[in-house]
Amino acid sequence: MAQTTTISVDAMGGDHGPTVVIAGCELLAIRRPDVRFLLFGDETAVKAVLAAHPRLAGKADVRHCEVTIAMDEKPSQALRSGRGRSSMWRSVEAVKTGEAAVAVSAGNTGALMAMAKFCLRPMAHVQRPAIAAIWPTLRSESIVLDVGATIGADAQQLVDFAVMGGAMARALFHIDRPSVGLLNIGVEEVKGLEEVRKAGAILRDTPLPTISYGGFVEGDDIGQGKVDVVVTEGFAGNIALKTAEGTAKQIGTYLRAAMGRTLMARIGYIFARSAFARLREKMDPRKLNGGVFLGLNGIVIKSHGGTDAEGFASALDLAYEMARFDLIASIEKDLGLHHRGPNGEADAGHERIT
């Protein structure tokens, strides 16, 4: 019998609450028969929606929570009002206690990160956690981090992001030694911010057994799939992510307008319908929904707040994959090698830069 993977879910998170969350859970339960859910939220509201999804019967336990974190609530306020009581906090806490392997929420990103840091605590050697996103590319897919957890990062933090992103890439892409690049304004070593150049020097000069350093990459290299992991700090990463999402929507709008403008265009669309369907599937943000919080003593996945059931199921599927790979143990091992050296000795090349 396959081992059961338990996912704790903030059932009240996101723009649509239990309606989308529970429908997404049902989709994953169909795809992954060995999954179970702990659903945290208002018991009355959750059970009312759950009744319409009989295929979840026997796979979901409901845990009542009296507090729901609002999407616009400040992280500090959310901690004060929701610690120990909210659906968001208790879904993360279930990972800490070992009841669940991973937590998923579509709620307030800042509040979720604050609660995850406070509850799970950062790993040894990790100064700041990062949010890693999966990025569609011409080659296949890449991982980009940080996309919003850390505004600004020093060289050592960027190197740690590279190591953590490499561990995630091995889990998702089944690559023994993923290639890693640092996002920069040019590929020349003299370009960019000082901390980025310092991080590049560490990655270039220090042999790391778990990743292969691919140098600096520019913004247009992300979509080309030049490397498996793209590393940056959260300010630039979040802007890059939102720009890409906005550009995809813009292109979609242009195409729909062009295809309906004339009779010949509409006829042409009929003949090219299958090609447009493949394009739409490739650009569908729901397929790659879910940001992974890396650097904590537990796995937390952030789903887009406005997604639908299919999108939330994608975030749950990502959570499932991360839990099955035992991502935390892999990151701890990789960070240990990086900070102490492959034979356990202190490595001067890994000393923190001040």
How does the average pLDDT of the chain come out, rounded? 87
- Provide the pLDDT for residue 112: 95
What is the spatial distance between Cα 144 and Cα 146, in angstroms, rounded to a whole number?
A: 6
Per-residue pLDDT averaged across 17-36, rounded? 95
Q: Give the burial class of 270: count Cβ atoms within 10 A of its Cβ; 0-12 exposed, 13-18 middle, 19 or more buried.
A: exposed
Could you give the CA distance from residue 163 to residue 306 in angstroms, rounded to a whole number? 31
**Could you tell me if 161 and 146 are in contact, meaning their C-beta atoms sit under 8 angstroms apart?**
yes
CB 324 within 8 A of CB 300: no
Torsion angles phi and psi, residue 342, rounded to 5 = -65, -20
Residue 287's CB is within 10 A of a number of other CB atoms, namely: 15
Lowest mean pLDDT among 67-81, 212-226, 323-337: 323-337
More confident residue, 308 or 249: 308
pLDDT one-digit tens code per residue, 275-331: 666 666 666 667 778 899 999 999 999 999 989 999 999 999 999 998 988 888 888
User: What per-residue confidence (pLDDT) applies to 352?
Assistant: 38
Share of the chain above pLDDT 70, in %: 91
Q: What is the rounded average pLDDT of the residues 236-242? A: 88
Distance between CA atoms of residues 143 and 345, nearest Å: 30
Measured in degrees and rounded to the nearest 5, phi and psi for residue 166 equal -65, -40
pLDDT above 90 covers a percentage of the chain that reads: 57
242 pLDDT band, cuts 50/70/90, is: confident
* Res 97 pLDDT > 60: yes
**Tokens coding 250:** 């813009």
CATH numbers and ranges of domains, the chain: 1-120 (3.40.718.10), 124-293+326-354 (3.40.718.10)
Judged against a pLDDT cut of 80, whether residue 345 lies above it is answered with no
Helix count and strand count (H, E) for the chain:
13, 11
3-state secondary structure of 22: helix
